[in-house]
Every structure is written in C-alpha cells, then in structure tokens.
Structure 1
C-alpha cells in the first residue's frame, strides 16, 4: 500500500509510528493489517452485513458499559451515532483488510474500533486520531477482547446471511413443487444404476427433489440455532478478565434489542472461546445442502441429455451457445454451474473442519478462514440457487412422447407383472424382449398371458407408480 506522505497523519501503536492517509477513518492497526495481509483480494467489506454486525456489536458493548457504570454517558453519546452509521452501511470503504489474516481477527476488530472512534471524533468536532477524547482501545474495546467480539461478529453475519439463503432455498423447493404438480399424471420409467427400473410419474420425480430440498431447510434451521450462543464478556480466554460484574448480561440484552435476534451466552465461556463447534455444525448443513443441489443438478443434466442420442426426457431453457466448434450445441450450463458451486461449498466445509480441529489451547487463531469459508459458501449457494431457479428450473418442460415411447419398449415394466405372472415368467419375458427387440406388453399379448382388461388394470398409472395425489395436495 503506497501512501503519499503529504496527505497523511501519523499514528502510533505498539510497533511504532505509521503513516495513515489523512482522510482515512481507520487507524494504525488497520493500516498495518492492510500492509501485512495482501493475500487474496477479498476484503472485509465484500460482505456488507459483516460491517453492519460490527456496528451492532460495538453499540451493544458501549451501551452495556454505560449501564454498568464503566463508560461515561458523554462518550456513549459520541459513539452511538458512529455505530448507527456503520449499521446503515456507511464507511464500507474503510474496511479493506484481507479476509485472509493472521491474529485471530485482531486486525478486523481494531479496524472497527478505529473507524467508529474516528467517525465519533469528527462528528463531535474533533480531529481524527485525537484518541484522548475517544480511544479505539480504552473506549471502543472496553470490557472486550477480539476473542469474544470477533466470533460474535462472524455468527451474527452468518445468521443474517442464513435468512437470505433460506429464502432462496424455500423458493427453489416451491419451483420443484410446481413442476411436480404440473406433471403429476405423466408416467415415465424410473431408473436405478442407470438401468430401467419401474415406472413412476414425472411429477413424483420433481416432488422428490422438492422434498430433498425441504429436508435441508430443517437441517439449516437446526444448525443456525447453534449460532445464537455467544461468549460475550468472556474477553481474552473466557475468564471474563477486565469485564465488570453484570456486563455479560447487559451486553447480550442490548445486542438482542439492536439486532432483533435472541442471543444467549454460553455457560462455559472458556469452551466457547476456544471451540469452533458452531461453525462446524453450520458448515456441515451447508455441505449437506450442496450435496443435494449437486445430485439434483446432475440428474437434470442426465434427463436432458441428447437431444437425439441421450434420454431427452426434459428440456432445459437454452441459455447460451454450447460450443466454439460444434454448431447447434446447447449445454446445460446452469445445472453445471449449480453443481460446481456445490463442489466449492464441500471444499469450504473441509476448510472449516481443519480450522476447527487445529485451534490451540484457549483460542482458535484460524477463525478468520473458517468465517470466510462459511461466508463464501452462503453467498455462493444463495446466488447459485437463485440462478438455478430463475434461469433453469422455472423454465423446464418435458417431452411426453419420449416418456410414452420409453414405457412401450422398456423391459423394466415387467416388474409390474410379477404379482400376476411370477418372477420366473418375468425373467423369460425379459430375455425374449432383449433378444427380439419386442416390448414386454407386445409379448404378453402374443402369448396371451393376460387379457386386455388385466393389462389395463395392472399397468394403470396408480398401480404402477403408487401415486397418491393427496400427499402433494398441500405442498
């Protein structure tokens, strides 16, 4: 980071003096973080809700400190409007520290402390850096440590992100329900291990995808609940050093009022400070959702394969030319996109697992990469599911003639005849059908094994597919 010395102010920290841009609201420690962690080009302000979370937390801390008699009311009056502006989304450009950072998030915590302090100073008519009036450490970090505010900021952000993620997941499940209801009576062949199995309806297949996604809503809800347990007031390692009596209760009360959520403090602050248990649990739910989305996406790719030499049972909306060399080719780019996003999320879950398992003793220094992995997964899944729904699922149509033809020629339909003809006769019919190319029903008629009435009864969609429309009525 190159700074023009003529447009700077000098600040001092433990390491010594450092030049900070004169118009910057951040201070010495944030500036060092920007210098030291030039790694990925992904910054704190790439996630605006993250900065909003810091504004909420620092406001709750200041109000709690005032309530327990630690902070002067005059200082709270200066700090409050600065925090509110962060909550409103202002000063995002002041948070340019790389998300890949050492120090267990200290640089990010101090970035928030410095920005809020300097905004408060300017609003009160003072100059940036006049920390004898409002101090990033003594006032904005009062009764706190990075080790309790930083994990809280990650959890609060994840909760906000989860709301958006869940909204898209619900909408995607509804889209598959709509397809399921639309095609509930269209019979097709089901397949196991890529071989013809037994009949089902197209609607049942789409409804099954909706159900898989709805299971993930339940998993996310369960995992999200774990994020509401905090360690605020535990300070450095969970013992509460430098936090006055009653502060831990007060800060939760104020954070709940400001955020609109209902947080609680863990009854074992030392465990809560050193463990990333909740991150592992929540990331696992994201991974589970990713596996579902990948499965569904790859099913759609298979079902739409062709158009002449594949299954070609469904049509995906054409989104772009598929080849630079093959004319007329259109690829299933949106399901492919959803699948590759899922692979990334699965990899991010591995990152969270490693980070959680390698934290040492009373603090996990690898929280930043665990937080980043979850943030990225939430963002990718939220945006990916929206694209999947709008650009693909909502435009799916089916090829009923293909489904009907497959039913006529399939050998798999012989299974439906087992109760009437027996498994051995079914084996013989299947062999002959394979050898002659004839259909099962064609052979049954030739051999006069069943009457037309029996054939019609056995091969009715309801009997073959177990279709019960009532189970989908309120979906």
Structure 2
C-alpha cells in the first residue's frame, strides 16, 4: 500500500530507518510515506481544519525564527508562502497519514514538515527532495517538537469547530424562544413518568428547552477558553529544550495574529504537555449538549406521535416518506438523527476519557484518537443542530384542540381542584373518573362542589400553569370578582 508504481518516476529519500522510493511529484517525503504504510486504520483523511491549523503554527514558527535570527529571510519567506497555500486549502491531498496513528502525532507533524519543505524548495527554484535548500527538521521544525506542535494544532482546531457549533446552538436557542412565544397560550397536559400530571403550556415546554440550550452555550464558552491555551515553546516535554527564550515569548502571539484565534501560551508548559484533562472537559460539555438535544428529540417524537393513535399534540414538518411498505407514513426523521448523533457523541466521550487517563509520565501518546473523536463529536453536533433548526423546530405547529381536549379529559386537573375540595375527596373523584371515564369537571359539578364559573376560573390555562393564582391563595380570596381579576377575565 502507498508504494510508488514501478512505472512512475521516483526520487530517493532516506531517514534513520533507511532509503525509500518516493513518487517524484509528491510533496510529502519518506517519513510520511512510512507512516501511511504503517497506519492504515480509518481509511480517512486528516480533518482539513487540523491541516490548516498546523500550517498556521509552522507559519508562526517561521516568522518567529526569522525575527529572532534563527532563519534567513529567503527560507522564511518560502516557508511562509508554502504555509499560506496550505491555509488557503491547497495541497491537502498531500497529507496522507491516517488520523489514528502511533507516535503521539509525529506522523502528522512530519507530514506537514515535509510538504512545507518541498513546496518551499520548489518556490526557491529547487527540486523536491533537495533538503539542503529547505530541511523539514532543521528549518520548518526549528524550535519545535511534535509534542508541542500536535497538541497545539489540535486545540486550535477544536476552538474553530467549537465556534461553528456554538453559532448553531445560538440559532437553535432563538428558534426555541420564538416557538415558546408562539405556543405560550396553548394549554396541554404535563406528564411525569409518562402518566398524566398537571397542565402546562406548550410554550413553557419550549422555553424550558431553550434554557437548557442556553446552559450549553455557556459550557461551550468555557470549553473554548480551555482550548485557547497552547503548549508551544515547551518542545519535547515542556521544558523548552532547543527553543530560544525569545521564540518561546513570541511564537504563540504570532500564531494568534495569523489565525485570528484568542490563543495564549499555557501557564505551565510541562503540565500542558503531559495532562490532557482539558479535552475531557470539552468532550464533557459536548456530551452534555448532546444529551439535552437527545432528550428534546425524544419529547418531540412523543408529542408528535400518531397521527391517530399517539399523543398528536404537535406536528413536525413532513420531510420524506417514512416507509417502503406503508403508504402515507411519515416518520420523525430529524429528531431520530439527532438521537443517533447523541449516541455516538456519548461513545466518543468514553474513548476520550480513556485516552486522557492513559497518559504516562511526561507525555500522553494518545492525542490522535482524542482528536479524531473530539472533532467528530463537535462537528456532527453542529450539523445535527443545523438540521434540527432548519428542518424541524421552525416548522413545528401545534394541534391546539387536541391539546385542550386531553387537558379537559384528564384526571390530572384534579390537582388544581385539590385545594378547594381537599386531598381525600380529590383522590376519590380521581379514582371514579379513571374507573368510569367521566370527566373531573362533570363529577365536580354533579356533586355541587364548585360552580361552572368557579371551575372556569380555576382551570384557566394561566391559573393552572403559574404560581400565585391557584391553590390556597385562591381559596382564601374565593369571591367571584377577585378570582376573575386574578385570572385576567375582567
């Protein structure tokens, strides 16, 4: 696999392992090709934002090394130009190492070093593979180690993806707020443990969803702050061996300018090199959001169940046929896909936690699997939220009469009556209603416990769904005029 075709032109490159044929026209080199042959694991390519992030780091390093006198202008300019091309999306096909790889990310770092070096050589008029002109290690990687480059480009990538996902969450929050306002006057039955509880307004349910998403947005803000600390300048184990003091002081600042990201150098470079709990924290925030989205999707599927034999309280937009055998069937496909994304994110979170724990002494070798799963979690969450907003939430409608009829026929409204007739009598009425199918209203009127006018006031949607109007406070002021005033009927 990945070996040059015998008919194509090759160049010879060598490393500490030996000599190897490399296709003449490619920009990667011997170390990249060895990694591609060793680590065919997922069959997938590196995330494009990770490639751009590592190019931004290499650009920042080249600029810094030129500023402090460790790289001549000609080489620095060529490296910077090569990096700019990668940042613009060019040569990504030259990053051929698998996202999951042994070596703590060395393969990606060398892939970047070789591609950038060979493109810089070409810019300077040389032939690819002539590393006397620009060397992958001695020039492109000067003052760096995989152990500070790879974690830093991973954090930068996570930061970019978190920004995108947060924008989608903000769209979802706004969509839920609009639905909360639209449905604010629609009374429906609340349920606990899937049994009738007490009435609630449909708008209150959507407002509760928006509150959960608002918390998720705050968690994402904290996650972005966690990802903004880079260990660049720490080199191999955080001690900064082979890195100039001026380089350590300037490199992250230059990368912040290049990337436009609010990145800073980590306070303790040794800690930032060996301890990866920040990824566990970020993954936890993404998982918490996924759990909220999945619970919301469960509710949407339940409330829209039917159309004849389910709850049928809301209608989800019809997006596609639901069956190859049952004509006219339409399934809640958008909430279903959100559920599945959540399941996957929860599994990814476990992998990230295990990989974070598996670090030993001065380095954790398992960042490749952390990045692979973390990036997937953040990105799929963003896509799931996007389709949830556009293809579901904004098009939800309410079946107002269905909602109201289930309230009127529910035994659950007895709770609102309880303060006026007492718990014991209310329990007797509830059991009779369940046994006979009679409505609570009819039984109350039959027994002369309350008048129809009083029931209408007590069972007003706002009376039943807001504190301060119902219960003992209402009982203590039980004149018709007072009740009508409190219920907003005057």
Name the TM-score class by shorter chain: over 0.9
CA contact (8 A) 1:67 1:250 kept: no
Alignment size in residue pairs: 466
CA contact (8 A) 1:30 1:107 kept: yes
Which shifted more, 361-370 or 69-78? 69-78
Residue 283 of structure 1: aligned partner: 283
Query: Using the alignment, how far apart are the partners of 1:367 and 1:48 within structure 2?
Result: 17
CA contact (8 A) 1:461 1:467 kept: no
**Per the alignment, in what secondary structure is the counterpart of residue 139 of structure 1?**
helix
Query: Using the alignment, how far apart are the partners of 1:18 and 1:120 within structure 2?
Result: 22
Residue 141 of structure 2: aligned partner: 141
Query: Using the alignment, how far apart are the partners of 1:305 and 1:364 within structure 2?
Result: 48
Matched, 1:433 2:433: yes
**How far apart are residue 467 of structure 1 and its match?**
8.0
Q: Deviations over 1:301-337 (max 9, x none)?
A: 1111111111111111122222233233221111110
1:220-369 pair list within 5 angstroms: 220-369=220-369
Residue 29 of structure 1: aligned partner: 31
Query: Using the alignment, how far apart are the partners of 1:78 and 1:96 within structure 2?
Result: 22
CA contact (8 A) 2:314 2:399 kept: yes
TM-score computed with the length of structure 2 as normaliser: 0.93
Query: Using the alignment, how far apart are the partners of 2:77 and 2:290 within structure 1?
Result: 46
Structure 2 stretches lacking a partner, 5+ long: 469-490
Matched, 1:97 2:97: yes
Which shifted more, 227-236 or 61-70? 61-70
Query: Using the alignment, how far apart are the partners of 2:411 and 2:159 within structure 1?
Result: 51
CA contact (8 A) 2:75 2:120 kept: no
**Per the alignment, in what secondary structure is the counterpart of residue 138 of structure 1?**
helix
- 1:467/1:135 CA distance change after superposition, 3 Å: farther
CA RMSD between the two structures: 1.3
**How far apart are residue 146 of structure 1 and its match?**
0.2
**Deviating runs (4+, > 3 A) in structure 1?**
none
TM-score computed with the length of structure 1 as normaliser: 0.96
**How far apart are residue 397 of structure 1 and its match?**
1.0
Q: 1:40 aligns with which of 42, 48, 53?
A: 42
Residue 476 of structure 2: aligned partner: none
Residue 455 of structure 2: aligned partner: 455
Q: Deviations over 1:204-249 (max 9, x none)?
A: 1111111111110001111210111111111001111101122111
Residue 472 of structure 1: aligned partner: none
Structure 1 stretches lacking a partner, 5+ long: 469-475
CA contact (8 A) 1:201 1:465 kept: yes
Query: Using the alignment, how far apart are the partners of 2:317 and 2:20 within structure 1?
Result: 56
Q: Deviations over 1:343-362 (max 9, x none)?
A: 00011010100000011111
